[in-house]
Amino acid sequence: MKYLFTPGPVPLPHEVASSGARPMIGHRSEEFSALLLRLQNRLRDLLKSSGPVVLLPSSGTGALQSLVENLLRPGDVVISVSCGQFGFRFREMASRMDCQIVPVDVPWGGAVAPEAVVEAVKAHPEARAILLTHNETSTGVINPIHAIASALPKERPLLLVDVVSSLGVTPCLPEAWGVDALAGASQKGLLCPPGVGVVWLSPRAWEALESLGHPKSFYFDLLGYKDSMERLQSPYTPPISLFYSLDAALSLLAERGYAKWWKERRRFAAAFAAGVEAMGLDLLVSQKRHRSPGVTAIKTPKAKRLKDVLYGMGVEVAGGLGALNGQIVRVAHYTDMAWPEMCLILGSIYGAAKSTGLSVNASFLDAAQRVWEEDVPCGKC
Ligand code: PMP
């Protein structure tokens, strides 16, 4: 038996996996248009937005690249806020586009403070865009996008947000929050296989795009996608099987009720964190309110060994990225996990930690259960 606890891909709900195995249909058929319309409506419902949502045949990186290639041009001043590896990657994309980067760096394990972004915007009124990561998967930090957007002056650069590891697992409400662009992906909080990029733009961002004109990228031309979407078409051959899976996953989330689903994910994360700490292991993110509902990072000098021992047991977790390579293990909890999975992952970590020579104590289940039974508030990050 194998247990997947990596921050994407995540274990697939049965309905999602079986929907992806449906017979093929032609992508110029009425049936396909109906599928696309359903996906549009379900995603608008999830995002609480009336605007178009573009589906790209790509992983999250492609969706992020589409934002950069469509909304930025060489020479643009771009405020790039990073609190981990994925913040750096978003920056690197803008940098390769020959934008002038204004870096705002937050120590890894911490969250972005709204004041730091406001300060950078005031110092650079000429900036064209701000790049932010909602859920920094490399550290397990969730950033307060709503608070950041609300703190910005009225006249402000476009706010582009990486929601690759937050979409589905926590509220992402771009219209209500005043965000201009989102780029997400299918394989984490959307509970699907990898391969679909999700892009949403505000009316202001679509207008900016109209005035900038078509990007150099032919495949990631968002105006071209929007045009096709309006006719319920895909400009190129789409990943139809993945669209079926996404349809099933979005239907599952809607049936459960988003608020309930988000609350359950926060509850799992909070109880898991309590169990890990009670065991005597350190969490990378010290501030509870900044901890991700989707992924938790455990900091230990024996991280590599711990990950390998877990893997040998059949439990796959992720290691650290970039500066945290060899220093943390990351455990993801995006799916419908409950108390049995809590016992499985905490018990496995306990056993693996002991066999790597770490000193851990056995009271972890009581601590996790205490938090499990509390009424965890639904986060608004
Ligand atoms: N941004 C974030 C926050 C991510 O977690 C990831 C994937 N781990 C990416 C970007 C890159 O996405 P992908 O691997 O799907 O291309």
Using one digit for the tens of pLDDT, what is the confidence trace for 247-271?
999 999 999 999 999 999 999 999 9
With the most atoms of ligand 1 within 8 angstroms of its CB, the residue from 6, 56, 58, 61 to mutate is 61
Percent of the chain exceeding pLDDT 70 equals: 98
User: Given CA atoms 30, 57, 221, 44 in this order, what sign does their dihedral have?
Assistant: positive
Expressed in angstroms and rounded, the spacing between residue 14 Cα and the centre of ligand 1 is 24
With the most atoms of ligand 1 within 8 angstroms of its CB, the residue from 10, 165, 199 to mutate is 165
Phi (first) and psi of residue 306, to 5 degrees = -60, -45
Confidence at residue 377, expressed as pLDDT on a 0 to 100 scale:
64
Q: What is the pLDDT of residues 211-242, one digit of tens each?
A: 999 999 999 999 999 999 999 999 999 999 99
Expressed in angstroms and rounded, the spacing between residue 204 Cα and the centre of ligand 1 is 25
Are residues 371 and 270 in contact, defined by beta-carbon separation less than 8 angstroms?
Answer: yes
Confidence at residue 288, expressed as pLDDT on a 0 to 100 scale:
97
Q: Which long-range contacts (CB under 8 A, 24 or more apart) does 224-229 make?
A: 225/54, 225/56, 225/199, 226/52, 226/54, 229/36, 229/40, 229/52, 229/54
Does ligand 1 lie within 6 Å of residue 140's CB atom?
no
Task: Examine the pLDDT at 121 and tell me if it is beyond 80.
Answer: yes
Least confident of 83-87, 174-178, 327-331, 373-377: 373-377
Residue 133 CA: nearest ligand 1 atom is 3
Q: What is the mean pLDDT of the chain?
A: 97
Expressed in angstroms and rounded, the spacing between residue 44 Cα and the centre of ligand 1 is 22
Alpha-carbon gap, residue 345 to 31, rounded angstroms: 42
Quick one: how far is CA 346 from the chain centroid? 24
Task: Examine the pLDDT at 376 and tell me if it is beyond 80.
Answer: no
Task: Examine the pLDDT at 379 and tell me if it is beyond 70.
Answer: no
Phi (first) and psi of residue 197, to 5 degrees = -95, 140
Would you place residue 378 in the very low, low, confident or very high pLDDT band (cuts 50, 70, 90)? low
Q: What is the pLDDT of residues 29-47, one digit of tens each?
A: 999 999 999 999 999 999 9
Q: What is the pLDDT of residues 183-211, one digit of tens each?
A: 999 999 999 999 999 999 999 999 999 99
Expressed in angstroms and rounded, the spacing between residue 195 Cα and the centre of ligand 1 is 11
Taking residue 185's Cβ as centre, other Cβ atoms within 10 Å add up to 28
Would you place residue 375 in the very low, low, confident or very high pLDDT band (cuts 50, 70, 90)? confident
Give Cα separations from 243 to 188, 220, 272, 274 (angstroms).
Answer: 15, 18, 32, 37
Phi (first) and psi of residue 58, to 5 degrees = -160, 165
Mean local confidence (pLDDT), 115-127: 98
Task: Examine the pLDDT at 333 and tell me if it is beyond 70.
Answer: yes
Residue 24 CB-density burial (10 A; 0-12 exposed, 13-18 middle, 19+ buried): exposed
